Amino acid sequence: MTAFQITNLKLFMKKLLTSESFDIFLLEEAVIAAASTITIDGHVNKKFYQGEEQDTLSPLPPFRPWSEMRGLCFELIRGKRTPLFFRFTFQLKPELAERLLRETCSETDPAQIETLAVNIRYDGAKATLTTATAARSFFLSKEPDTIWDRALKQFLDKEGIAWEIL
């Protein structure tokens, strides 16, 4: 687990809320505090889809893609005043996480890793990203954590998002 503080907040917010940069993620949860606090549960409600529609969407991802939720979150955040606080919990899309781990893990079976996540927290003045790795069972290797931390650093660098380790 590594915490990154974003050093160019304006560019980061633009990339997060108005571009496709973060579309590699699924939204697990969003909490936005402005005039009211709004919580968005990103879980897919499978019961909402029926019959053929369920078959064409199968397999449904566990959470909504950020690309589908970005506009809603942007509308809740934008305005004359900045929000008091927001927090997004993202998961790397499962197919991307599996590919990353298969290509780079030597000690750990990628099937043991449930998710590669990043928590984004804005406190009204600064934004912090924190990585997390969830495993299906306990194991000693820290290799998946190291790989995920390195991959997120590369992602931020590729997107031109300036950061520093906390």
pTM above threshold 0.85: yes
Determine the residue type at 154: Q
Q: What pLDDT is attached to residue 60?
A: 75
Number of domains forming the structure of the chain: 1
Q: What pLDDT is attached to residue 107?
A: 77
Determine the residue type at 16: L
Among candidates 120, 101, 146, 137, which has minimal Cα distance to 4?
A: 120
Q: What span, in angstroms and rounded, lies between the C-alpha atoms of 40 and 38? A: 7
Give the mean model confidence (pLDDT) for residues 82-86.
Answer: 94
> Is residue 17 scored above 80 in pLDDT?
yes
Q: What span, in angstroms and rounded, lies between the C-alpha atoms of 47 and 45? A: 5
Residue range(s) defining the domain that contains residue 146:
3-165
* pLDDT tens sequence across 104-141: 977 788 888 999 999 999 999 999 999 999 998 887 88
Q: What span, in angstroms and rounded, lies between the C-alpha atoms of 91 and 25? A: 5
Q: What pLDDT is attached to residue 152?
A: 98
Q: What pLDDT is attached to residue 134?
A: 94
* pLDDT tens sequence across 145-163: 999 999 999 999 999 999 9
* pLDDT tens sequence across 23-69: 999 999 999 999 999 999 999 987 887 777 766 766 778 899 999 99
Q: What pLDDT is attached to residue 58?
A: 64
